[in-house]
Amino acid sequence: MENIIEYIEDGITITKNTDGTYRVFTPKTQHFSVSSLSELTPEKFEEEILKEVNLQLQEDQLLKIAFEEDPYIELPLDHYDIGGEGGED
């Protein structure tokens, strides 16, 4: 267990599921499942951290795409009546 201290020092929650597997949570990995507590190795934590980093990158990319393609963002400023110019007859 000493070799995983750096991965769990910010906190860890382990819940045993009804099917005998375990649900593990740490701030760096978020939630992941293991069949046995012996699977909690530095390699497993590194794998789960990498998964979480990749998920965050994908989410960031999707949000960027979503907001760049938003038609309201692309409207030019002169479309709006800013500062009282225009729009008055």
Which DSSP string corresponds to 15-56? Answer: EE-TTS-EEEEETTTEEEEESSGGG--HHHHHHHHHHHHHHH
> Tell me: the pLDDT tens digits for 33-55?
999 999 999 999 999 999 999 89
Per DSSP, 4 falls in state: G
The DSSP H or E segment spanning 73 is: none
**pTM for this predicted structure:** 0.69
State how far the Cα of 2 lies from the Cα of 76, in Å rounded to an integer: 58
Higher local confidence (pLDDT), 73 or 35: 35
